[in-house]
Structures are given as structure tokens and as C-alpha cells.
């Protein structure tokens, strides 16, 4: 039975790797996989072509979309509805709009849709796409990763010049050079330490 899945995790939790392995597994079984990612993620352009890639080195070409695209119409142009053995996989799904998540829900009535992404931004607030997925996805599952202390990482800390940033625009694109996944305890401790250092 087709469903809308939301698989979320912090930065570096292997979300893209799992999306790519899922694509491979379905293709091995004869499915046609439509792999998509939002165009806002400009880090993943290689030789002028949009790709989903993982830190471990695996990648695949994908269909790129922007926030104004209707995903029903876009996937229709790629003949999604002409193949009953189709699967839709979305990487970086946190950047979906509310309307686009609603569109994916509609698609999931006929085809399984698997969404991989972050749950919250560096302010520890839900992304628009993630919020809507939590509200209407048929299946929610966490992809776990660890903090440097060994506890589960659930905070995507934006760090610039060795300081955690907590204010600014909601979306800041970046990877390991800007972000560090941390547990809540370490996050709060670092915030307290940097605030104490500022007073001194």
C-alpha cells in the first residue's frame, strides 16, 4: 500500500545516503524511481547537473524543483503516472512548502513517497516542509546520529567563528563547514559558555 513517509535526522545522520540506497533497492526490484531535491540546495550541483550526494561519496542525478513548482504537474511531465511501478524520493525535504507537501500527500494515494530531511533549523524550530510532513505523513521515523559526547544528536547548531548562532534568517545553506550536530546538553552548555565569555 502506498504511503507518505518522513525520515528525519540531524546533520550528518546519513539521510542522503539512505535515500540513495533506497533508490538503488527499488531499482533492483524493477521500480522506476523519481529522485528529487529542491533547487535552494545549491551545494549539490556537479558539472551543471543537480545531484543528490552523500558525505560517504555516493551520488545520483536527480530532478530539481523550486518552491513555486507544483510537484503533481512536474512529476506528470516525467511520466510518473504512466508507470504503476513508480516510487518518489525527496532529499532535503525540509525545504518543501506546505502546498508541496500537500501535493506529495496526493501523489502518495497512488505511489509511495519517501521524504528525507531535517526536522528543525539551527534555531531549533520546525522547517515549513517538516512541520507539514509531521502533520500528515503516514509514517515518521528518526534516523539517529551521535553528538561528540556520545549522546543522540538532535540539534543542528550553526557555528560561525566558533560561536553558536541563534538568530538571523531561517534558512542558512551549508554543510560541515557551518553546522555541527549536537545533543541538547552540549548545545546548552556551549551557549552558556559563550555567553559567559562575552560577559568576561
150 class by beta-carbon count within 10 Å (0-12 exposed, 13-18 middle, 19+ buried): exposed
Q: What is the pLDDT along the chain (200 residues), one digit of tens a residue?
A: 799 999 999 999 999 999 999 999 999 999 999 999 999 876 655 556 789 988 888 999 999 999 999 999 999 999 999 989 999 999 999 999 999 999 999 999 999 999 999 999 999 999 999 999 999 999 999 999 999 999 999 999 999 888 999 988 888 887 777 899 999 999 999 999 888 877 66
C-alpha cell at 94: 525540509
pLDDT of residue 113: 98
For residue 10, give the nearest of 180, 189, 185 by alpha carbon. 180
Helical spans, DSSP H, in the chain: 15-28, 71-77, 98-107, 128-136, 184-199
Is 27 one of the annotated active-site residues of the chain?
no
For residue 36, give the nearest of 100, 83, 109, 84 by alpha carbon. 100
pLDDT of residue 197: 75
| Rounded-to-integer distance, Cα 183 and Cα 190, Å | 11
pLDDT of residue 175: 72
Q: How far apart are the first and last CA of the chain?
A: 60
Active-site residue (options: 64, 92, 167, 177): 92
Q: Is 78 helix (H, G, I), strand (E, B) or coil?
A: coil
C-alpha cell at 70: 507544483
Domain 4-143, architecture per CATH = 3-Layer(aba) Sandwich (3.40)
- Give strand ranges (E) for the chain: 4-8, 32-38, 45-46, 49-53, 59-61, 63-65, 86-90, 113-117, 139-142, 155-160, 163-165, 179-182
pLDDT of residue 133: 98
Sequence spans of domains, the chain = 4-143
pLDDT of residue 162: 87
Tens digit of pLDDT for each residue in 38-67? 998 766 555 567 899 888 889 999 999 999
Amino acid at each position: 500500500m502506498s504511503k507518505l513517509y518522513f525520515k528525519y535526522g540531524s546533520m550528518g545522520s546519513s539521510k542522503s545516503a539512505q535515500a540513495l540506497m533506497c533508490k538503488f533497492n527499488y531499482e533492483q526490484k524493477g521500480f522506476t524511481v523519481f529522485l528529487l531535491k529542491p533547487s535552494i540546495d545549491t551545494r549539490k550541483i556537479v558539472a551543471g547537473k543537480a545531484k543528490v550526494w552523500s558525505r560517504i561519496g555516493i551520488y545520483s542525478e536527480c530532478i530539481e524543483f523550486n518552491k513555486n513548482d507544483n510537484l503533481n504537474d512536474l512529476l506528470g511531465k516525467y511520466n510518473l503516472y504512466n508507470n504503476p511501478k513508480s516510487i518518489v524520493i525527496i532529499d532535503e525535504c525540509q525545504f518543501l512548502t506546505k502546498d508541496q507537501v500537500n501535493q506529495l500527500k496526493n501523489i502518495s494515494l497512488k505511489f509511495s513517497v519517501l521524504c528525507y530531511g531535517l526536522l528543525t533549523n539551527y534555531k531549533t524550530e520546525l522547517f515549513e516542509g517538516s512541520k507539514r510532513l509531521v502533520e500528515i505523513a503516514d509514517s515518521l521515523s528518526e534516523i539517529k546520529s551521535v553528538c561528540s559526547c556520545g549522546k543522540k544528536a538532535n540539534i543542528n547548531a550553526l557555528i560561525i567563528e566558533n560561536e553558536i548562532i541563534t538568530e538571523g534568517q531561517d534558512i542558512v545553506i551549508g554543510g560541515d563547514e557551518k553546522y555541527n550536530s549536537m545533543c541538547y546538553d552540549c548545545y546548552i552548555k556551549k551557549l552558556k559558555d559563550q555567553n559567559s565569555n562575552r560577559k568576561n
